[in-house]
Amino acid sequence: MDTELIAFAGVSLLLSVTPGPDMAVVTRNALAHGRRGVVLTTTGIALALSFWISATAFGVSALLRSSADLFFGLKLIGAAYLAYLGLRTLVDSRHQPADLLATAPPPAPAHAIFRQGFLSALTNPKLGVFFVTFLPQFVVPGQAVLPRLLELGLVFALIGWTWMIAYGLMVTRIRAFITAPRVRQWMERVTGVVLLGFGARLAAERL
């Protein structure tokens, strides 16, 4: 049993349900365009994620070929970055999130809705930093790096896309609850604690 992959899937699910820019876009388009908006937006996001994942996999595997020490350093930086994300999420959760229901866009053609999701993820540089520091943490010594990174990226993208679809459809039915600032605030707090603990554990393992 691949325990690292199971752990990765669990963390990926937690990260996927955490409110962020992509979730905000899905929410707005779900409210404005219904199920059609959900499918088009999440498909655009998934395509952009595949770009970031591919770039990460090939870039990190090239790094490993050049220097094992650099790769080890990258994993240490990644552990610290996850801890930082956890702290930042906890700090941000102290503030009341904006009301997503107040920002629903007007009707738009299919290509425009798809483009919103695609550009939301593609132009987010934090995704690049996140994948570069997050995916290598689950590469087990002795594994072929490129296939493993692509596998992890595929799992992350599938989990994220599935959640966004489910979330978007929920918004169309129970939007008042799922988009409530208080609910989103607690989601951020739970994620912050988990990320902080996960980053600390990884850092301890590398030292």
Query: Sorting pLDDT into bands at 50, 70 and 90, what band is 20?
Result: confident
Which range, 36-40, 53-57, 170-174, 178-182, has the best average confidence (pLDDT)?
A: 36-40
Torsion angle in degrees (nearest 10) through CA of 114, 93, 90, 157:
-20
| C-alpha separations of 88 from 80, 131, 169 in Å | 12, 17, 29
- Spell out the residues 6+ positions from residue 62 whose beta carbon is closer than 8 angstroms to its own: none
Taking alpha carbons only, the member of 41, 81, 55, 32 closest to residue 146 is 55
What are the tens digits of pLDDT across the range 100-136?
555 555 667 888 889 888 988 887 767 777 787 778 8
Give the pLDDT confidence score for residue 139 in this predicted structure.
81
The count of structural domains within the chain is: 1
Q: Which domain holds residue 7?
A: 3-206
